[in-house]
Amino acid sequence: MEQARMSYHCFSDTKTVARKPHRCVWCSRLILSGSTYRREHSVYDGHHQNFAWHEACRKDADDWFSESGSEEFATDNEMPWLELYRLEVADLGKSP
Ligand SMILES: [Zn+2]
C-alpha cells in the first residue's frame, strides 16, 4: 500500500542573472538585479513551485536539508554573508 508522504520533484535548478529584482525564498530578502541567483522549478506535494534563491542561501538550504532530514523549511532564515549583501545594497544606493 502506498504511504502518504510528501513528494518532491525538481524539474530544473539553474544559475541565472537577475534581470529584475526577485525575492529569495530562503531569507525573504531581495535578489538584486544584475546578481547571479538560482531559479528552481519543482513540484512539492502536487503544488508547482517557482523559487528564486541567493546562491549562498541555496547552499545553506542544501546543508540544512541534509542535516535536518526535513523537506519543509520556513522563510525569513538568516542570510549567509549578510554583511556582503548589505555592501551590495549600499552600493546601489550610491549616486554616480
Ligand atoms: Zn536569500
Distance 43 CA to ligand 1 centre (A): 20
Q: How far apart are the first and last CA of the chain?
A: 65
Distance 40 CA to ligand 1 centre (A): 13
| Weakest-pLDDT range from 31-35, 61-65, 70-74 | 70-74
Architecture in CATH for domain 8-91: 2-Layer Sandwich (3.30)
Banded pLDDT at 28 (limits 50, 70, 90): very high
Question: In this structure, which residues have their CB less than 5 angstroms from ion ligand 1?
Answer: 24, 26-27, 54, 57
CB atoms within 10 A of CB 6: 9
Distance 3 CA to ligand 1 centre (A): 33
In the chain, domain spans: 8-91
Banded pLDDT at 5 (limits 50, 70, 90): low
* Res 90 pLDDT > 70: yes
Distance 66 CA to ligand 1 centre (A): 18
